[in-house]
Amino acid sequence: WILDSGATDHISISLQNFSSYKRITPISIALPNGEIVCSEYSGTVVLNNNINLQNVFYVPQFSFNLISISQLVSFKNYELNFSSHGCTIQDIQTRKKTFIAKLIGGLYILDCSLNILSSATQFANNVVNKTSLWHLRLGHP
């Protein structure tokens, strides 16, 4: 999956990526090469049980799966932090980092096989959170 600041919608090239989908009135989508194609399916894609992308269009003629940055931050309460090495996607409410995208060839590519919230990371986060909580309970700023 590629994070795309220019994409107005999420796009999947495979129906196997969808947890659910439905047939829609065909809509036209412009590909980067200028070709216009139609999407006849839209649905939900869940990435590693962390990010729930809705209104993803199925476009088999496309070359890559795209995540629209504007859709992600507008509707899903995620914060993206970009650097020269990559991008982290963080849930605004829980403050947990859910994914890392690596910068490869000028593109921010999300590694869906790498779920940074491994059980060890979750355990460490819980310990830090509980420690901070007790610190505050004891009256320390």
Residues sharing a CB contact under 8 Å with residue 8, sequence separation 6 or more, in sequence order = 68, 70, 71
The structural domain count of the chain equals: 1
Supply the range of the domain harboring residue 79.
Answer: 2-137
Reported in sequence order, the residue ranges of 31-85 that DSSP labels E, i.e. its strands, are 36-47, 51-58, 66-68, 78-82
Q: What is the mean pLDDT of the chain?
A: 81
Q: What is the pLDDT of residue 120?
A: 43
Task: Tell me what pLDDT residue 129 has.
Answer: 52
- For position 73, which CATH number holds? 2.40.70
Predicted confidence at residue 131, as pLDDT, reads 58
Q: How far is CA 48 from CA 3, 10, 80, in A?
A: 16, 16, 17
pLDDT in tens, 40-87: 999 999 887 678 899 999 999 998 999 999 998 887 778 899 998 899
Q: What is the pLDDT of residue 112?
A: 73
| pLDDT score for 127 | 45
Per-residue pLDDT for 30 more than 80?
yes
> What mean pLDDT is predicted for residues 89-118?
78
Residue 28 makes CB contacts below 8 A (sequence gap 6+) with: 36, 37, 38
More confident residue, 87 or 139: 87
Confidence of residue 138 (pLDDT cuts 50, 70, 90): low
Coil, helix or strand at residue 17: helix
